[in-house]
Amino acid sequence: MNISIINIGDELLIGQVVNTNASNMSKMLCEAGMEVRDVNIISDNVAEIGSTLRRCLKNNDAVLITGGLGPTKDDMTKKVLCDFFHSELVESVEALENVKRIFEARGYELTPINRQQALVPKCCTVINNVKGTAPCMWFETSDPEFNINDGTPRKVVVAMPGVPFEMENIMVTEVVPRLQEHFQTGHIIHKNILVQGIGESFLSDMIEKWELSLPKSIKLAYLPQAGMVKLRLTARGDNRDLLESQIINAVKELYPIAGKYIVGEDMETLPEAVAQMLRVNSKTLASAESCTGGAIASKITSMAGASKYFRGGVIAYSNDVKECTLGVKHSTLEQFGAVSGETVSEMALGVRERLNADYGIATSGVAGPGGGSPEKPVGTVWMAVAGPNGVTVQLKKYGDDRLRTIERACNEVFAMLIHKIKEDNAKAIENQL
Amino acid sequence: MNISIINIGDELLIGQVVNTNASNMSKMLCEAGMEVRDVNIISDNVAEIGSTLRRCLKNNDAVLITGGLGPTKDDMTKKVLCDFFHSELVESVEALENVKRIFEARGYELTPINRQQALVPKCCTVINNVKGTAPCMWFETSDPEFNINDGTPRKVVVAMPGVPFEMENIMVTEVVPRLQEHFQTGHIIHKNILVQGIGESFLSDMIEKWELSLPKSIKLAYLPQAGMVKLRLTARGDNRDLLESQIINAVKELYPIAGKYIVGEDMETLPEAVAQMLRVNSKTLASAESCTGGAIASKITSMAGASKYFRGGVIAYSNDVKECTLGVKHSTLEQFGAVSGETVSEMALGVRERLNADYGIATSGVAGPGGGSPEKPVGTVWMAVAGPNGVTVQLKKYGDDRLRTIERACNEVFAMLIHKIKEDNAKAIENQL
């Protein structure tokens, strides 16, 4: 069962908005056993929308469209859908009720321009958008133009609003379940393995034999990210139990080969691996950030439940904040500078003690583009992790891309923390023996 | 001059990676006066890559491809390009030198799999990728199959690596200038106006007459984001001076209509507006965050030069951090709770004083999904801004989406800060009179 996604919006084509809708939709569809064949970003243009929809519907079983449903003048989608399905715009009672409900809840007056949102092509099924005023529209067709084989279900077109949280809610609660029901979908299982501390090509060499021995139902992909590689195993087929056991086997066989670089399974990011590690071990964390400027804390706290293991943090951008809030010694800053192993070590120890956490992590570096010197060029980052068994310090030299340096430093210090907790656990077991 | 972008990668189609490449490329091309007509995300599949390239090249002057050039087994792009241009793979001397240089700099040994990266189709021009090992390839064609008109330049296909910072560097330094030279490009000017405190449809009603009076060369788009709307004016034409004066005029006429909601010009985000406001007025900022968990600080420090106006911040996730690090009174927390106007006010005042900043901003709320109560449901956020003329407090009730609540709270408190600085400036002028 193949799907095309069409995201409509000039804002996407001039790069002012990143198209997170496509990735979120793809993720949901994949997890539900459906395959996204292509994503098409096009302009708010009648001819363009029509021809893209025609092409995509010929090649796929369903086409999901986002965008172009707002009340403003640059939105064309509904007009195209009317022409495409030889229908006409009518006011939908349920869509109008939803618009009224939302305006009432917000205490706004319903304007004529907003009432227009309740207009839909007569031939569609309206799917309620509880989070917004633009209705979602479901169309079915058996028109032979679109290459429909005998005995297969009618092809489906769904038009949704482009506002991300509205689209997400409609997808999860309505569109994905309806697609699963309408088409008989097979199984797809994904397994992510986070690998840190080895480059993509070295990893590829290291696990080549293992990769070649994988069953045909399993596909491997390398997803390099800042400072780490995500390995993704994808199993497809009709027998879910078989696929699951094949995946379990494959992962089991990977550990003897590359286990020392594996930092997490069944997750997308290192912060998730950190969260799991802290939760499972009932440990707490505090952060002291200079060059990462809050990115460490933000990554941790963007996950629900973070208050269970994250005590808080200090962003010590200026030196006197490092002294007064974290207790870094004035003499340390004078002798070694803010960007040094000594300072970052005192930052980690200080935040651990002052915020009463089991682990303290710290960064201090030159993210750039300014502030570099011959001894400490842009990209120099010191990192530290302080725990019950002392403090570990590391120096990394990244390039001159500010955001990339911040990203990599976060991932590196997260990896240091994971390895530190593993070590501490091993020590604890040793002491018990 | 029209361009298609093709982003290749299964990781994009299963939603594990957000396609930031498309938006970054589109932005650069637009700013250089070129129009991106569509973006196509497709699979690492030989047939798919070939047919998409053929379609896009027929409809456009140039096609830019990213992805599928890595050394691993799931990358197909070079094979397709060879077939497409009836060429064969040869080892490029300059590409090999680049691979060697990068491996030497990193102290790694050159493996056969990495040497393969220097293979390119014989008919292409190699563009050096100084940040990575995969070469960039530039193809030109005058094959009549691709609808080339008499007297127009040969059509262009460029294949680039998919690693974002490699692609960005190649685009800025090589591909965009070469495209500008190869094609005679016209002018496109964009003007962003950030509007905060009014919904899209109300804004649309408010400025309808102004919009209808815009010259034909100017197009208006509404880009709603969490807690604000970005208005984008786009002017296209051959006379840059004329376009610029038309834009200036249009903006001048907007202020009497919607000026009180405008918080910034010529920028993409509220943090940029905050940075400009602080810089222009030589003021410093410190942040005290509970529910936003470092997102405020991270947004501020992701911009180069932040150390000039950002002193630092405290993430006070637990109550005792609010007390010991920010000086929130124990009795305040006991009587009113952490999520209250009283607490958030003391947080803002405390961080302003302790970190010695001109302005202190603070948030405390229930981001969810857990932690809500009937009086303080999930989505409740208190915000405060403390400055030389006292503290301002605000309560907002957002929905149950954790990340969206964090995002909106950040934008709201940034808007509060901007309005506060404006007020303080107005007061200072009053006092002088």
A133 to chain B: closest CA residue:
B201
Residue A87 CA to residue B282 CA, distance in Å, equals 60
Q: pLDDT tier at B92 (50, 70, 90 boundaries)?
A: very high
Long-range contacts of A425-432 (CB under 8 A, 24+ apart): A425/A281, A427/A389
- pTM for the structure as a whole: 0.76
Find the closest chain A residue to B314 by CA distance.
A314
Q: Is the pLDDT of residue A148 over 90?
A: no
DSSP string, B238-287: S-HHHHHHHHHHHHHHHHHHHGGGEEEES-SSHHHHHHHHHHHHT--EEE
Residue B16 to chain A, least CA–CA distance (Å) = 7
Residue A238 CB partners (closer than 8 Å, separation 6+): A186, A187
pLDDT score recorded for residue B221: 86
Question: Is ipTM over 0.95?
Answer: no
Classify the C-alpha dihedral A6-A10-A13-A19 as positive or negative. negative
Q: Cα(A21)–Cα(A163) distance, rounded to whole angstroms?
A: 8
Residue B158's pLDDT band, with cuts at 50, 70 and 90, is: very high
Q: Which of A29, A37, A311 sits opposite B43 (nearest CB)?
A: A37
Beta carbons of B315 and A312 less than 8 Å apart: yes
Q: Average pLDDT in the B202-222 region?
A: 94
User: What band does A73 get if pLDDT is binned at 50, 70 and 90?
Assistant: low
pLDDT confidence of residue B19: 92
A224 touching B (Cβ < 8 Å): yes
For tokens 């563009």, the residue is B127
Interface with A, mutate which of B4, B11, B13 (most A CBs under 10 A):
B13
Judging by beta carbons within 10 Å of its beta carbon (0-12, 13-18, 19+), is residue B408 exposed, middle or buried? buried
CB A287 within 8 A of CB A297: yes
Cross-chain CB nearest to B232 (options A16, A38, A296) = A16
Lowest mean pLDDT among A200-214, A216-230, A352-366: A216-230
pLDDT at A237: 86
Structure tokens given for B27: 């932005």
Residues B251, B253: Cα–Cα separation, whole Å: 5
Helical (H) or strand (E) element with B16: none
Cβ pair A297:B293 closer than 8 A: yes
Closest chain A residue to B8, measured at CA: A38
Subunit contact B315:A320, Cβ cutoff 8 A:
no
pLDDT tens-digit series, residues B254-288: 999 998 888 889 888 899 999 999 999 999 999 99
Share of chain B above pLDDT 70, in %: 99
Q: Do A304 and B369 touch (CB under 8 A)?
A: yes
Beta carbons of A43 and B48 less than 8 Å apart: no
Residues 7 to 36 of B: which have CB under 8 A from any A CB?
Answer: 10-20, 22-30, 35-36
Domain boundaries, chain B: 2-182, 187-265, 270-432
Cβ-nearest to A313 among B40, B72, B315: B315
Is B401's CB within 8 Å of A223's CB? Answer: no
In angstroms, the separation between the Cα of residue A276 and the nearest Cα of chain B is 18
Neighbours of A417 (CB within 10 A): 26
**If you average pLDDT over residues B126-130, what whole number do you get?**
95
Tell me the nearest-neighbour CA distance from B152 into chain A, angstroms: 24
Q: What chain B residue is nearest to A40 in terms of C-alpha separation?
A: B40
- Mean pLDDT (whole number) for B51-76: 87
List, as ranges, residues 237-266 from B with C-beta within 8 Å of A.
none
Q: Which of A64-78, A95-109, B215-229, B235-249 has the lowest mean pLDDT?
A: A64-78
Cβ within 8 Å of A, B 68-87? 70-74
- Indicate if the pLDDT at residue B152 is higher than 90: no
Selecting from A41, A224, A234 the residue whose C-beta is nearest the C-beta of B39 gives: A41
- Contact list, A22 vs chain B (CB under 8 Å): 12, 15, 19, 41
Percent of chain A with pLDDT over 70: 99
Are A370 and B17 an interchain contact pair (Cβ–Cβ within 8 Å)? Answer: no
Interface contact B234-A14, CB threshold 8 A: yes
CB atoms B298 and A301 under 8 Å: no
Encoded tokens for A379: 């990209």
Question: What would the DSSP string read from start to end of B130-150?
Answer: TTSSSPEEEEEE--GGG-PPT
Pick among B4, B201, B231, B361 to test the A interface (most A CBs inside 10 A): B201
Task: Say whether pLDDT at A125 is over 90.
Answer: yes
Which residues from A are below 8 Å from B38, CB to CB? 13, 40-43, 48, 52
Query: What is the 3 state secondary structure string of B306-333?
Result: HHHCEEEEEECCCHHHHHHHHCCCHHHH
Q: Spell out which residues of chain B touch residue A222, defining contact as CB-CB under 8 Å.
A: 70, 72, 74
Q: Which residue in the set A223, A306, A307 is minimally distant from B16, CB to CB?
A: A223
For an interface test with A, the pick among B31, B220, B301, B310 (most A C-beta atoms closer than 10 Å) comes out as B301
Q: Name chain A contacts of B320, Cβ cutoff 8 Å.
A: 356
- Quote the pLDDT of residue A130: 92
CA proximity to A200, closest of A172, A230, A169? A230
Output the average pLDDT for chain B: 92
Q: Residue A336: what pLDDT?
A: 97
Which among A201, A298, A320 is the nearest to B295, CB-wise?
A: A298
Q: Is A181 exposed, middle or buried (0-12, 13-18, 19+ CB in 10 A)?
A: exposed
Please judge whether B14 and A25 are an interchain contact, meaning their C-beta atoms are less than 8 angstroms apart.
no
Neighbours of A304 (CB within 10 A): 15
Q: What residues are paired with A335 via a beta bridge?
A: none
**Averaged pLDDT, B23-28:** 94
Nearest to A317 among B28, B192, B307 (CB): B307
Peptide bond into B369 cis (omega under 30): yes
Mark which residues 98-157 of B lie under 8 Å from A by CB. 108, 111, 113-114, 131
Does B305 sit within 8 Å of A318, measured CB to CB? no
Q: At what angle do helices B77-84 and B46-59 cross, to 10 degrees?
A: 50
Residue where the block lists tokens 């991300």: A164
Pick the closest to residue B326 from A285, A351, A314, A311 (CA basis).
A314
CATH architecture assigned to A187-265: 2-Layer Sandwich (3.30)
Encoded amino acid at B174, one letter: E
| B400 interface with A at CB cutoff 8 Å | no
- Answer whether B36 sits within 8 Å of A52, measured CB to CB: no
Beta-carbon separation of B302 and A18 below 8 A: no
Q: How confident is the model at residue A74 (pLDDT cuts 50, 70, 90)?
A: low
User: At residue A66, does pLDDT exceed 90?
Assistant: yes
Is the CB of B371 less than 8 angstroms away from the CB of A73?
no
Q: What is the pLDDT of residues A397-430, one digit of tens each?
A: 998 889 989 999 999 999 999 989 988 988 988 8
CB of B209 within 8 Å of a chain A CB? The answer is no
Which residues share a beta bridge with A41?
A7, B39
pLDDT of residue B217: 93
Residue A245: its pLDDT value, please?
Answer: 96
Instruction: Inform me whether the pLDDT recorded for A242 exceeds 90.
Output: yes
* Buried b / exposed e along A10-29 (16+ C-beta atoms within 10 A): bbbbbbbbbbbbbbbbbbbb
| A109: closest chain B residue by CA | B202
Cα–Cα distance for residue pair B105/B113, rounded to 1 Å? 18
Whether chain B has a CB inside 8 Å of the CB on A165: the answer is yes
DSSP state of B373: -
For residue B311, which residues of chain A lie inside 8 Å, CB to CB? 317-318, 321
Multiple choice CATH, A2-182, 3.50.50.60, 3.50.50.100, 1.20.120.720, 3.40.980.10: 3.40.980.10
- Fold of the CATH domain A270-432: Maf protein (3.90.950)
CB spacing of A314 vs B316 below 8 angstroms: no
Region A166-186: mean pLDDT is 92
Q: Measured between alpha carbons, how far is residue A122 from residues A20, A139, A144, A409, B7 in Å?
A: 30, 10, 21, 55, 36
Are the Cβ atoms of A317 and B301 closer than 8 angstroms?
yes
Token representation of residue B153:
């330049």
Check: CB of residue A364 under 8 Å from CB of residue A333.
no
Least CA distance to A319: which residue of chain B? B311
pLDDT at position B394 over 70: yes
A234 to B313: CB separation less than 8 angstroms, yes or no: no
Give the contacts of B223 (CB within 8 A, at least 6 positions apart). A11, A16, A17, B229, B230, B231, B232
